[in-house]
Amino acid sequence: MSGNGTDIHTGGDDDTFCKNDPHLYVQIFGTIIFFLAWPLVVLDTKYFPLGRPAAALVGAAFMVIFNIISQDEIYEIEGKMGNLQALFLLVGMMTMSYYFDREGLLRMVALYIFGEGKPMKAVLWRVCLLAGVMAAFITNDATALVLSPLLFKEFIRQGRPKRELLPLALGIATSANIGSSSTIFGNPQNAFISSAAGIPLIDFFTALLPAAILGLAISIGMLHLIFIRELFLQKGDEDEEEPPPEKVEMERVAQTNPSADPYLSSQIAEERDRMQDGNPRLTPSGSRHSMKVKEAQEAENEEPVNRIKPFKERTWKELIFAGWLCFIMLFVVVLLTIPPPPTVKSKFNLGLIPLGASILTMLVDSIINRKYAFDAMARVDWTVVLMFMGLFAWIGGFQNTCIPKRIFDGLAEYMNLHTFGGVILFTVFVIIGANIFSNVPLTILIIDRLPDLCGDEKCTGPLGGLILSWVATISGNTSLIGSICNLIVAEKARSTLNYQLTFLRYARFGLASALLVIYCGLPFVYFLGRYAT
């Protein structure tokens, strides 16, 4: 109990919320703190560069400073089993994704799929499928971090037309989000929903996999339809494009003093040839000035040092460790899928199994490869972990005002998950809420209210959690800021190719495809979730 007489247990039973009306002070200041922190958590604006993780922690700190929640309640919130499970799962999977990336297993598959000189119409669907499958096992954010720079660098190396870049970037981002919806490993909100609502991996997977497969097919089809000109134009059919200003300046410098910079002159000659061919292409020279051109070239020159070793060139130790990675990931999936034998009293834990697998992998890596585990632990995105800890407390403080409960109570009678209209209203509520609060905060905010969505009786099955997971995840595709995965792809396109994936460019495809995917996949999620154990 806090000093204001209100209970708060984020991720717990809903009966613990708002047993007593909070003081007017708590309602006013809790709401003010929540909405002051909201734009910093959701929008991550460059005009106030605090960042989402720090913004969530600041919001949590002010909830405590102003006594919206007590100091003792912080430990109760952070120490709840559902919250810790989500954190352990994230740490374990991020650690494992580091080892897969370090050994080049994912990059090997990615470059094989991208191919050499294949037309984009033959590459795009393979890239989308790879992003979806990878996201199902190593999270959508990790997929974006691994896949985006790898494919963008290959894009540069092959000198592909710039017109192909937008569908490629959109394909990576949206497919990773869709694929991540199919498993509890796929994204943070799935991990939290599965642990907080007690949904087994096998029920989660069987209910959401068909919808995810259909969603990927719809998204790929829409990409080819909307970008038909970009994907199906043949070489030389493009309209002539105006050269960027920096290239005009490079030409002027070369004409006045062609011997001033031999490297710059060679770059100008290369760009002139490309422009005369009528096929302008992205190269590392698409930067602001010659120094950045040189830096990009130097980065490309360093690439062979980190090149992917074919299996035939690997030592026996490297082959053994690669085999271990495949074995341990398969073993984790089996343990979380198959119920334990009757002789085992405790269930295989959603958080501890992946975390334990990552710890064992550190040990095996140290024994076989004689490498310190420090690198693996340093590559864990601890800012995500801290962001979750901040979100738990920040949202817990807002819940202590009882305002979310009252809003939800007012809509709950109309969002009966046993009726068609109730399901549609619930999905609209989640779509709007995910774009206002972002999908992870929304999930934390309403997860404990799901049992109230079955009319006069309490919901006992996983249906509410499965629908929430599906809709909240795919809602991330509606806008550029709807998902961290989208922002990662946009940032990698900017840093690697100097290409701006803007809000409007993303909206050209994102909103329509997200709504179509949500409502085409919803019947599968509903009927499979309705009869899940």
Share the mean pLDDT of the chain: 76
CA distance 19 to 53: 31
For 242-263, the pLDDT digits (tens) are 444 444 344 444 444 444 443 3
Q: Looking at residue 342, what is its pLDDT?
A: 63
Q: What residues contact 261, with CB distance under 8 A and at least 6 apart?
A: 253, 290
Residue environment code for 362-383, b if the CB has 16+ CB neighbours within 10 A, otherwise e: bebbeeeeeeeeeebeeebbee
Examine the pLDDT at 439 and tell me if it is beyond 60. Answer: yes
Residue type for position 196: A
For 214-228, the pLDDT digits (tens) are 999 999 999 988 888
CA distance 503 to 526: 32
Examine the pLDDT at 199 and tell me if it is beyond 90. Answer: no
Tell me the average pLDDT across 12-38: 73
| Residue spans of alpha helices (H) in 139-200 | 140-157, 165-180, 188-197
Give the residue with greater pLDDT, 446 vs 491.
446
For 75-87, the pLDDT digits (tens) are 988 887 777 877 8
Range with lowest mean pLDDT among 86-100, 106-120, 472-486, 515-529:
106-120
Examine the pLDDT at 152 and tell me if it is beyond 50. Answer: yes
CA distance 365 to 258: 53
CA distance 43 to 40: 6
Partners of 367 in the beta sheet? none
Confidence of residue 368 (pLDDT cuts 50, 70, 90): very high
Tell me the average pLDDT across 167-188: 90
Q: Looking at residue 358, what is its pLDDT?
A: 93
Examine the pLDDT at 154 and tell me if it is beyond 90. Answer: no
Q: Looking at residue 64, what is its pLDDT?
A: 94
Residue 318 neighbours by CB distance under 10 Å: 16
Q: Looking at residue 514, what is its pLDDT?
A: 93
Q: Looking at residue 59, what is its pLDDT?
A: 93
Q: What is the DSSP string of 73-127?
A: HHHHHHTSHHHHHHHHHHHHHHHHHHHHHHTTHHHHHHHHHH-SS--HHHHHHHH
Tell me the average pLDDT across 425-448: 83
